């Protein structure tokens, strides 16, 4: 599969041959869904916790009479109905992450890249670099390329001026090739890859 390469200025700069085994798959929604759940579960802090019955020190004396009081037969002050009481079966600190085979994670990334190709939302540029961190200039260049809500993946390291200029543009993310992941690719409408990013991803997923 061959795609045209453009410069940031919108001029044609040759073409690049994409590996069909990485960019030409039929996207599987179930695999993408499993990977997104894996990523979101892994990033959860899991620090949520409330007091349960065993964490509260309250009276265990029967509250009120057993009969004739006109109220429920409470036998403990630590229940949730009373002030200072505890929640029954509340959230506890725990790890939400789960395991996903490495082959499935690699397959999900290939299918995420393929989904952008299939929907014509993949743009290849020669490089993501600027001489000065000018946000207004970069915004105009991206709009000319048709990128209004996109993820830009550079080479092994992101150009400092480019990253600084893009940081002030809403709905535009910049990542190095090693940080390419399924969730960020699917979250944005357009995917912009540099030629170096294409080479890095093909080496990583081959």
Q: Where in the chain is the domain with CATH 3.40.1370.10?
A: 2-41+99-205
Mean pLDDT value of segment 43-70: 89
Residue 45 has pLDDT above 90, yes or no: yes
Q: Does residue 89 contact residue 52 with C-beta atoms inside 8 Å?
A: yes
pLDDT digits (tens, 9 = 90+) for 154-202: 988 999 999 999 999 999 999 999 999 999 999 999 999 999 999 999 9
CATH topology of domain 2-41+99-205: Ribosomal Protein L4; Chain: A; (3.40.1370)
Residue 62 has pLDDT above 90, yes or no: no
Alpha helices in the chain (DSSP H): 20-23, 29-42, 102-118, 135-145, 160-166, 182-187, 195-205
CA angle 119, 155, 181 (to 5 degrees): 50
């Amino acid at each position: 599969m061959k795609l045209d390469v453009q410069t940031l200025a919108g001029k044609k700069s040759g073409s690049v041959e994409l590996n069909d085994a990485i960019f030409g798959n039929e996207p599987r929604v179930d695999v993408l869904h499993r990977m997104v759940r894996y990523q979101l579960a892994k990033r959860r802090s899991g620090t949520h916790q409330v007091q349960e019955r065993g964490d509260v020190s309250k009276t265990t004396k029967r509250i009120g009479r057993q009969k004739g009081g006109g109220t429920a037969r409470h036998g403990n002050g630590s229940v949730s109905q009373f002030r200072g009481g505890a929640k029954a079966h509340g959230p506890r600190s725990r790890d939400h992450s789960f395991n996903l085979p490495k082959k499935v994670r690699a397959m999900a990334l290939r299918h995420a890249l393929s989904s952008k190709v299939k929907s014509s939302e993949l743009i290849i540029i020669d490089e993501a670099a600027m001489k000065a961190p000018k946000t207004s200039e970069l915004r105009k260049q991206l709009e000319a390329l048709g990128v209004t809500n996109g993820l830009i993946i550079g080479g092994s390291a992101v150009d400092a001026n480019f990253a600084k200029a893009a940081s002030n543009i809403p709905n535009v993310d910049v990542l190095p090739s090693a940080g390419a992941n399924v969730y960020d690719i699917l979250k944005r409408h357009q995917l912009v890859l540099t030629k170096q990013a294409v080479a890095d991803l093909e080496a990583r997923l081959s």
